[in-house]
Amino acid sequence: MKKLPVSVCLISGAEAHRIGRALASVEGWVAEIVVVLNEEVADGTEELCRQHGAIVHRHRWLGFREQKNLVGDHATQPWILQLDADEEVAPELRAELEAFFNGDQDRFTGASFPRKVWFLGRWITHGDWYPDRVLRLYRKDSGRWGGTEEHCYVELKGAEKKLAADLLHYSNPTITGFLLKFPYFADLYLKRQLAAGTKWSAPAVVVRSLWRFFRAYVFKLGFLDGYPGFFIAFSTAYSTLFRHTRLYETQQPTLPPCPSRNSR
């Protein structure tokens, strides 16, 4: 079979425990796989990538957006398919991508598709998490990663083709791992808000948090995903409250000094 003129690009840290799924899902039908690893990774990720035929580069961490642009700069093919280490191209999506290159590649400069998450023992197909449409296939000369550090996306020059098959996402194997992401993204958001001079507003935070729950659970039918759907809606509302409370925290006085012995 003729391989597609595509460079599959991944950025990775210590991901030996799961990146093999992503690599195996594209091995053999794309022209090349390119991976940029953090400099300090030493868990066997590099060796696993090379076993799947990937070209591996090392570079210090620049942040999600710039690291994704960096790995794209290493690509040699006219098209880039960007994947994360916890994703998988399902057979149905592979078939649609192959069909795309039977003519659509001349009419479009990129293609997007829904992303479906495996969470708490089931595929999530409603609420805020689905369809999480992402644009990941794009011409190298027509796409560049932009947006904020916590919400980066491909800025495409030209027309986008919307595919129907799902990209599979195994992002949160445990609840603990899911919750540990909150502080990281809240800190990125806080940095951006402080730079913009944003002032904290109690009514806005309360309304926004409640809206995130009702939007995900009721209006986007999250209740159809059972208890995982409730947990996602509730945690989304809480993450909104948590993120905005970080801004509130910076505007409060610091702790008073501890009294000395002589002042007792």
CATH number at residue 131: 3.90.550.10
Indicate the residue among 169, 185, 201 that finishes a domain.
169
Residue span of the structural domain in which 138 resides = 4-169
Same structural domain, 31 and 53:
yes
Task: Tell how strand 134-139 and strand 143-147 pair up.
Answer: unpaired
Distance CA 98, CA 22 (A): 17
Q: CB–CB of 151/167 below 8 Å?
A: no
Block means of pLDDT (10 residues each) for the chain, 264 residues, are: 94 94 97 94 92 96 94 98 97 97 95 97 96 97 91 95 97 87 89 87 93 97 97 95 91 78 60
Same structural domain, 118 and 189:
no
At residue 261, the pLDDT reads 67
Distance CA 25, CA 29 (A): 9
Distance CA 205, CA 252 (A): 16
At residue 32, the pLDDT reads 98
Q: Position of tokens 């449409």?
A: 133
Distance CA 245, CA 232 (A): 20
Instruction: Supply the pTM of this predicted model.
Output: 0.89
At residue 15, the pLDDT reads 94
Q: CB–CB of 153/146 below 8 Å?
A: yes
Question: How many CB atoms within 10 Å of residue 32?
Answer: 18
Helix residue ranges, H only, 124-225:
175-196, 202-214
For 11, 49, 83, 138, 150, the CA distances from 22, given in Å and listed in that order, are 12, 10, 8, 18, 22
Same structural domain, 33 and 161:
yes
Number of structural domains in the chain: 2
For 136, 139, 183, the CA distances from 15, given in Å and listed in that order, are 20, 27, 21
Indicate the residue among 124, 153, 169 that finishes a domain.
169
Tokens of 110: 């990129």
Nearest to 97 by CA among 84, 83, 86: 83
Indicate the residue among 149, 169, 189 that finishes a domain.
169
Nearest to 84 by CA among 108, 42, 123, 117: 117
At residue 137, the pLDDT reads 98
Strand ranges of the sheet holding 115-119, from the earlier edge strand across to the other edge:
87-89, 167-169, 115-119, 122-124
